[in-house]
Every structure is written in C-alpha cells, then in structure tokens.
Amino acid sequence: MNVKDAVVAFADKHIVEYSVRNGELVAKECPFCHGGDNHDRNTFGISLYNGVWSCKRGSCGKSGTFKALMEDFNDFIEVDEDAKTIFGNKKVKVWDRPDETQYGPATDTARAYFASRCISEETMAAFRIMSDSFGNIVFPFYRDGQLVYVKYRKPKAYNRKEDNSPKEWQESNTEPILFNMDGVSFNEPLFITEGEFDAMSLYEAGVTNVVSVPCGCNNLEWVNLCWDWLENFRMIVLFGDSDEPGMVMMQTLVKRLGEDRCMIAPMYPEFIMNDEPQGRICKDANEILFSYGRAGLKDVADHCEPAPVEGVLNLSAVPCVDPSSIPRIYTRIPELDQAIGGFGEGCLTVISGKRGEGKSTISGTFLLNGVEQGYKVAAYSGELSAMQFRDWIMAQACERKFMTYKQDIRNGKNYAMVPYDVQERIKDWLDEKFFLFDNSFVDQGTMVESVIKRFTMCARRYGCKLFLVDNLMMLTNGIEEELKQQAKITAALKQFAGRFKAHVILVAHPRKTPANQTFNSEDVAGSAAITNLADIVMCIEKPNIRVTKNREFGDTPYIHCSFDPSTRRIFQTSYGDRTVYGWDHAGLSEPEDRAADLPAFAVQDGSEEMPF
C-alpha cells in the first residue's frame, strides 16, 4: 500500500473526522491532546507523501513518523518500502526503534558501579537504568513513553591500557535525543549536562529537572532533533564539563539556545579524593558529588549565573588565542589560501567584479568546499530562483568527466547538465548541510532583516558556519538613503559573523571605471563602509582573482585561474582542477555524450576573453 492510502486507512480507523487538503490529511481533533482546554480544531496533520505528522498546538507539539504513529495506536499497516522515505525528491531520515524487551533489571555489578560513583538505587530507578544480556549498563532515552535511543557502558572502571574496546557505545541508527526528556517539567529551569552520570548526580542532589546530551560534546545533532521541545523552556542551565571541549560546547549552546535564557555553572571547586586535594578542579557534576556530597553539588547548582552579557567583556578574562588554532574554511585555491589563510571565523569577505565575471561562480565553489571540509553552509541568492541556484551548485559539485549535455532542438544550442543518477547522489551528500534562503518567503520588515533572521536560525539550529549574500544590491534595492543602508547591512553581517563565529561572503558590484584601470578596494560600488568593515576584499576578473585587502596577513596577490564552462568551476591554472567532492562515486561510469568532448565546453584560460 502506498503512503497516501495507508494514511487514509489509518485515519478511517482511529481519527474518523478529517479532511484532505494540500497534500495533508487534517484531523478535526488531535488524537493525543484532543484540542486542549479550548477544544482547538484542525491542529493535527499527517503528510500524504511521507506520513510525517505533527500537532501544531504548542502545549502538545507531538510529532513523528508514520511508523511511530502506528505504534502509538498498536496498529500496523504495510507501506511500500520505496514510498516510506520519499517526500518529493527529498529523502527523510527513518530511525530504528530499540527493542526494550531485550533488556532486564540492572545487575548487582551495575548497581555496585553506580554506588562507587555516589549514585543511589533510587536515582537509578528514576532514570530506568537497565542491563543487557552481557551485563552492560543500559541508559534508555525515552520520549513520550517510547524508547527512542539507547547507550551502553561497561559496568566497571575503564582502563584503556587493559581494554582497547570502547567504554561507551550506542544502538546504531537510533535517534539521538536528550536523556531523561520524559522526566522533566516545562515549568522549571532545565539543566543540561554532558553525560548521563552527571545528570543523575544532579538528580541525586535534588536537581530533578535535568537531561544530558546523547553523544558527548562534539555532536550537537540533538539540538535540531529536540528543537521544538527545547523551545518550551524559559530558562536553560548549562552544567557542562570544565575541560576545554566542554567549555566550547557550552559557549556554542549559549549562542544556539539563546543568551537571554541561558545560565551557566560557576567555577567548579577543587577535586578531592580520599580527603586529599588533587591539584585540579572537578571535571563535572559527578566529581563534585564524589568530592563534596549532595549538599556541595546542590550549592554549586544553586549558584549558576546568567550567561555573560552580550557586548560586555571582562578584559582580564579574555583568553589568549593561538592564531594557528583558529578554525578556517579553506577556499581550495592554493595561492589564495596561502595569502589569506582561509576564511577565518568572525570575518567578512567582499567579492566584487564586473557583471558576468564570475562572482557567483566563485562564491558557489567556496560554499561547496566548505561542505567538503565538514561545515554546514547557507546562502541568499537575490538574482537566482531556488531551481536555478540548485542547478548551478549541482554542476559545480559534479566533476567534468561526468557532465553530459542536451541539445535544444529549437535553437541548436547545447546545454551542459548533470546526469540524473549523479544528481541524486549529490543531493544525498548535500542533505542537511547546504541551506538556501527561500526568496518566495514573505516576512515582516525589510529583506535584509528577513535574511539575517533566517541566517540566525541556520546558525543556531543547524550550526552553519559559512554564509553567502549574493548580492548587496538586491538587499538595498528601492530603499531610500541607499548608502546608509549599505553601511548598516555590512555592519549587521559583520556583527552576525562575530556573534556566531561564522564567515560571511558578501557579493558587491563595482563602480564604473576606465577599461584599463586596475581594480582596488575603493572601486567597490556604494558606501565606503563595505570595504572598511571587510576583512578580505577580492575581485574576480574573467576568472582571475585579485586580492585587494587582506587585513590579517597583508598579502594581495593576483592569481591566474581557469574556467570550466561545463561545471562552472574556477580553479588555479598552475594547480589544476583536482577537486573530487565526497558524494558517492561507487559504480559510476562516464556518460557516452560527454560535455567535455564539445569545443564549446573546453576549459578556458584566464588570459582569454570568455563569456560567463
């Protein structure tokens, strides 16, 4: 049975009163909250394309997959495997559910291990700690009464020299949500720790509204997965580890969850073992409990402080920075990276050049190179529709040897194109990594306010680090006092980059200059603030790159480049195009009709006249 028929069959059995509109089955009443005290209607919908469902009432907010919905009603309707995961052309992640029946009560060894870490059996019971058939500790992660995620830990002190296997691991392909989500209240501040033992330690000390992250400090996927749930809390207390990775995670979470509602733990006390100070502070909540008991940990929790005020620094607390440790997104044009050191966090790059010289072309390449290096990126394109922008990026992500072509029989012109099977692989690779501002989106305020608002959501919710605004003119078009607005927009983008430790690329048009005049930073059209605020300014010149400002390193090279018309790639001529992006290449063969074999798609050197 396809998804649409399965959804309708389910509704006939369990919902009864519903309507169908715009590809969605809308229930008259939510089967979970029944409309609440106000008896709200038409808040619950199920997609007829992929079965994903949700209730839009804030106090309910339940959502999930069609499989989970059937499980909630103890029903089963067979759905075609291919149809289950497809929404249009976008694949939807389907998580597995752990089998709760394979676990039993915590073993004596597990209870003894928890006791050695000062955690009682009452607290173990509150968190529903179990053991598997091998005696390993089982940390169950529940949401709405359903077991969603499971972590395992060996029930003993861990010594890497004696045991090369991991001390902790998780059930594969399960949804990494927060630990103890079902055990907290929206009416109290939410404490978030870095580990399950830390959450249980706070609970032991009387701080019961506590959860922990599922995958340590380096994986923040849970922020997106639990976003709607987290938005219910007016105050969030971040009680992380005191080591450097833990502190970085806490700083990132303050930005993403909102400085206005985040509290942070105070400096942790000194770690004590056997009544002897150990010469360091406690690493986490569990070590505070071990050293100072329940009252000591409760005292630390009671003295959490608001996150630092935005824009105000205690100068003596500003850390020293090793320039070589600053995260950088490389352009993968070797001579350019040698000059500017890559795109540093908190910085603004302005790209200029005459019409059709390759500003958008080089910008798209920079974004794809960011994705290849493991960063998430977002773009605003004022001149291209979403479909045009997608086709542009698809071509740049595809190597030259895989590009085919199609002839328009009306005019005889050949168009380079990415084969459909390659497109599917590239889309899988880009999924949830590359985001695009929807030009059809209507919001209150100016376009720039809307763009920065959406970019802020991309930074907070998805963790994007490289942003493109193409171009400045589209954001100021029709606005009175345009020069002042350009200065404000540039300043807002620079501030945004600093706030989220991101890098922003801003495309700006040049002034009209004599044909033989060499471009410099003052030739960018509009307010002088554009280049004054920029950290890097470069000009694209069919398709060579001229760097005219380099705040950090000072080098301003002129880089000889080439252009591939089939893939729309710009690359350093002396280095060549060696880029192979990380999408799945397995089993692919070159098409018979290769665009690269046509003279019209020959690679063009930057010294030649060429159309863009």
| Per-residue pLDDT reduced to its tens digit, 74-117 | 777 777 654 444 333 445 567 889 999 999 999 999 999 999 99
The CATH number of domain 100-306, selected from 3.90.1150.10, 3.40.309.10, 3.40.1360.10, 3.40.1400.10: 3.40.1360.10
Alpha carbon distance 228, 61 (integer Å): 8
- As a whole number of angstroms, the distance between CA 486 and CA 599 comes to 42
Q: What tens digit of pLDDT does each residue of 352-398 get?
A: 888 888 889 999 999 999 999 999 999 999 888 889 999 999 999 99
Whether 559 and 333 have beta carbons less than 8 Å apart is answered as yes
pLDDT confidence bin for 307, thresholds 50/70/90: confident
Neighbours of 271 (CB within 10 A): 19
CA angle in degrees (0–180, nearest 5) for 169-170-173 = 140
| Distance (Å, whole) CA 501 – CA 491 | 15
Q: Please state the rounded mean pLDDT for residues 479-508.
A: 85
| Overall average pLDDT of the 518-525 stretch | 72
Q: Give the residue with greater pLDDT, 335 vs 478.
A: 335
What does the alpha-carbon distance between residue 391 and residue 398 come to, in Å, rounded to a whole number?
A: 11
- Buried b / exposed e across 214-247, counting CB within 10 Å, b at 16+? beebeebbbbebbeebbeebeebbbbbbbeeebe
416 contacts 566 by C-beta, under 8 angstroms: yes
d(CA 363, CA 379): 10
Structure confidence at residue 175 (pLDDT): 92
Q: Which helix (H) or strand (E) holds 7?
A: helix 3-14
Q: Which fold has domain 348-605?
A: Rossmann fold (3.40.50)
Question: pLDDT at position 481, please?
Answer: 58
Neighbours of 51 (CB within 10 A): 27
- Quick one: which of 556, 483, 481, 484 has its CA closest to 521? 556
Q: In the chain, where are the structural domains located?
A: 3-91, 100-306, 348-605
| CA proximity to 379, closest of 328, 474, 454 | 454
Fold of domain 3-91: DNA Primase; Chain A (3.90.580)
User: In this model, does residue 609 exceed pLDDT 60?
Assistant: no
Residue 26 token pair: 């809308």
For the ranges 30-39, 117-126, 138-147, 519-528, the lowest mean pLDDT is seen at: 519-528
For the chain, give the percent of residues with pLDDT over 90: 53
User: Does the pLDDT value for residue 310 go beyond 70?
Assistant: no
**570 token code pair:** 């710009």
**pLDDT category, 302, cuts 50, 70, 90?**
very high
What lies within 8 Å, CB to CB, of 139 at 6+ separation is 127, 129, 150, 151, 152, 153, 179, 196
Q: Measuring CA to CA, which residue among 79, 288, 145 is closest to residue 204?
A: 288
d(C-alpha 384, C-alpha 240), whole Å = 43
Phi-psi region of 569 (alpha: psi -120 to 50; beta: other; left: phi over 0): beta
Mean confidence (pLDDT) of the chain: 87
Q: How confident is the model at residue 158 (pLDDT cuts 50, 70, 90)?
A: low
N-to-C CA span, the chain: 49
Check whether 127 has a pLDDT greater than 50.
Answer: yes
pLDDT tens, 208-257? 999 999 988 878 889 989 998 999 999 999 999 998 888 888 888 998 88
pLDDT score recorded for residue 174:
92
Tell me which DSSP letter residue 130 carries: E
* 406-446 pLDDT per residue, tens: 888 888 888 999 999 999 999 999 999 999 998 777 666 67
Check residue 269 and report its DSSP letter.
P
Shared fold status for 3-91 and 348-605: no
Residue 203 confidence (pLDDT) = 98
pLDDT at 83: 46
Q: Is the pTM of this model over 0.95?
A: no
